[in-house]
């Protein structure tokens, strides 16, 4: 059988058969904003809010009780709380366990990153250091361990890239949708759209209590001089569009609405 060329199909009036129907969803999308990425993935992109660039802690409450040396902020007396508040966001930070290594379990390089000042992803020196699994580095405290332990030795820096979906409450304070978190530790996915059961206390089960749609980021003081650097955050908004007509199929000039 002789081969049929594309030119032959078009000449035969079969081009519609070659392309078929196109689905269109009827949404008019706003053009996505243009964001210039950093030179490296760890560098803040053009729309990031830089919370700590190594200079000082002026963008935090209680910064006077922490120390900054050689571009690194070291945990001091009391937690560090960002001046600005955030809801859905992307958070990047780098942290380093203290040297020389001291203590064990929860007493070794303990700190924490709190989204909205109440939902903790654990910071801990979990390199060759046994503790309860839902309290090791990368855990949502007392709710789930990380999928894997991706710790680097205390002499090296760790990186967290956190993608946070804030919980939603109705006007009466009832939970409408829970919080979700995705987290990457040193380039390794450790939490994949995990649904939080509520806040992350030590001494009771987690629970949701109504709070504003945004809240500060805080870093815990747990008595260990954990170092932090390169902290930035991007408030996140999904793509925006308006449903201007029903979805439909288009084939040339012919449009066929898709009924519900």
Listed range (9-23, 106-120, 135-149, 170-184) with the worst mean pLDDT: 9-23
Q: Token pair 């989204």 is at which residue?
A: 115
Q: Which domains does the chain have, with CATH numbers?
A: 6-29+247-257 (no CATH), 49-238 (2.60.120.560)
Summarize pLDDT for 124-180 with one digit per residue, the tens. Answer: 999 999 999 999 999 999 999 999 999 999 989 999 999 999 999 999 999 999 999
The distance in angstroms from the start CA to the end CA of the chain is: 44
In this prediction the pTM is 0.90
pLDDT at 11 over 60: no
Report which of residues 2 and 170 the model is more confident about.
170
Single out the residue of 44, 77, 43 nearest to residue 61, CA to CA: 77
The pLDDT mean for the chain works out to 93
Summarize pLDDT for 72-95 with one digit per residue, the tens. Answer: 999 999 999 999 999 999 999 999
Cα distances from 27 to residues 24, 256, 259, in angstroms, run 8, 16, 15
Of the chain, the percentage scoring pLDDT greater than 90 comes to 88
Q: What is the DSSP string of 24-68?
A: E--EEEPPPPP-PPPSSTTS--TT-EEEE-SS--TTEETGGGSEE
Distance of alpha carbon 61 from the chain centroid: 22
């Amino acid at each position: 059988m002789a081969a049929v060329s594309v030119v032959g199909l078009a000449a035969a009036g079969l081009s519609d058969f070659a392309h078929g129907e196109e689905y269109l969803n009827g949404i008019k999308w706003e053009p996505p904003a243009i964001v210039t990425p950093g030179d490296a993935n760890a560098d803040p992109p053009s729309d990031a809010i830089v919370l700590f660039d190594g200079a000082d802690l002026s963008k935090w409450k209680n910064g006077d009780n922490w120390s900054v040396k050689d571009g690194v902020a070291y945990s001091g007396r009391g937690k560090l709380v960002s001046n600005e508040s955030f809801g859905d966001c992307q958070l990047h930070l780098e942290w380093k366990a203290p040297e020389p290594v001291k203590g064990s379990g929860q007493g070794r390089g303990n700190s924490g990153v709190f989204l909205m000042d109440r939902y903790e992803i654990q910071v801990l020196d979990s390199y060759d250091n046994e503790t309860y699994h839902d309290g090791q580095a990368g855990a949502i405290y007392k709710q789930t361990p990380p999928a894997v332990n991706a710790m680097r030795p205390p002499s090296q820096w760790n990186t967290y890239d956190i993608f946070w979906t804030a919980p939603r409450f109705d006007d009466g304070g009832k939970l409408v949708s829970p919080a979700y978190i995705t987290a990457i530790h040193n380039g390794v996915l450790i939490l994949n759209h995990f649904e939080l059961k509520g806040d992350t206390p030590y001494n009771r089960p987690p629970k949701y209590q109504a709070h504003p749609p945004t809240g500060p980021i805080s870093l815990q003081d747990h008595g260990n001089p954990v170092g932090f650097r390169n902290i930035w955050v991007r408030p996140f908004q999904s793509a925006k569009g308006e449903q201007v007509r029903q979805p439909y199929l288009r084939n040339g000039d012919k449009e066929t609405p898709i009924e519900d």
